[in-house]
Amino acid sequence: MYELRMRRHAIGALRKMPRRYIRRIRRELDKLAENPERRDIDVAKLRGRPGYRLRVGDYRIIFERDN
Q: Is the pLDDT of residue 67 over 70?
A: no
Question: Model-level pTM?
Answer: 0.77
Is residue 1 a part of any domain in this protein?
no
Q: Which residues contact 10 (CB under 8 A, 6 or more apart)?
A: 61
Number of domains in the chain: 1
Q: Is the pLDDT of residue 40 over 80?
A: yes
How far apart CA 6 and CA 63 sit, in angstroms, is 9
C-alpha dihedral (17, 19, 2, 58), degrees to nearest 10: -50
How far apart CA 65 and CA 2 sit, in angstroms, is 10
**pLDDT, tens digit, 9 for 90 and up, residues 2-34:** 888 888 999 999 899 999 999 999 999 999 889
Is residue 2 a part of any domain in this protein?
no
Domain membership of residue 39 as a residue range: 8-63
Is residue 3 a part of any domain in this protein?
no
